[in-house]
Amino acid sequence: MRPGNQRGIVVVLALLVLAILAVLMAATLRLATSEVTLANNQHDHSQARALAESGLEFALAQLNGGGNPRVTNQPMDVNGLAIGSFSTVLTWASPTNVLVVATSMTTGPRPARSTCRVRLHQDPVTTTKARLGRLLHHRVCSAIPHLLASPDCGGAGSQNGLLRVTSLSRSKNCWA
């Protein structure tokens, strides 16, 4: 073969290497942008869960103080910046057992929703104020309506004031 006939192979090899590098760069760029999106979704999810747990704490404080804890769209703000709202619904199973469901929705470009469900037992006390002291059942279900296909269920067992976690369950029956 003459050298004049082989000159085009260098151009073909250079284009092949360039195409491979372009595919690798596109994959890296896609991975980097998806990481940012996932981090933003995690942040929004954490805000929604904290807001729903604030709704539970608000309802518990109202119950312990003798107030009416049924709240709808209670706005929450941090340093003057509105982060979302929560609503609570109480269902009395008996005179001493109550189911508190707090649902929250964050504000912003990617609103997230979270729902916390707590079953409380009213301990008999000698004072005139009723105190809800023992947490019989604690289940937190949340869902990110964006990229994650499967919702994240669960909660952290901690002692918080009058709340004492006696059982923690995980469920796949989450709702958005």
Tens digit of each residue's pLDDT (9 = 90 or more) over 19-71: 999 999 999 999 999 999 899 888 888 888 888 888 888 888 777 776 655 55
What confidence score (pLDDT) does residue 138 get?
36
Q: Does 139 fall in a domain?
A: yes
Three-state SS for 91? strand
Q: Does 171 fall in a domain?
A: no
Beta strand 81-92 with 71-78: parallel, antiparallel or unpaired? antiparallel
pTM of the predicted protein model: 0.56
143-165 in b/e form (b: 16+ CB < 10 A) is bbeeeeeebebebeeeeeebbeb
Locate tokens 């469900």: which residue?
117
100: β partners: 90, 118
Q: Does 66 fall in a domain?
A: yes
What confidence score (pLDDT) does residue 161 get?
30
Residue 60 is encoded by which pair of tokens? 């518990």
Q: Does 175 fall in a domain?
A: no
Q: Report the side by side order of strands in the sheet with 97-106.
A: 71-78, 81-92, 97-106, 113-123, 131-143
Please give the tally of structural domains in the chain.
Answer: 1
> What's the burial of 173, exposed, middle or buried (CB within 10 Å: 0-12/13-18/19+)?
exposed
Q: Does 85 fall in a domain?
A: yes
Structural domain including 7 reads 3-143
What confidence score (pLDDT) does residue 56 get?
84
Planar angle of CA 120, 155, 151, nearest 5 degrees: 120
Inter-residue contact 90 to 100 (CB < 8 Å)? yes
Inter-residue contact 114 to 48 (CB < 8 Å)? yes
71: β partners: 88
Radius of gyration of the chain from Cα atoms? 27
Q: Does 176 fall in a domain?
A: no
Percent of the chain with pLDDT over 90: 12
Q: Does 26 fall in a domain?
A: yes
Q: Does 168 fall in a domain?
A: no
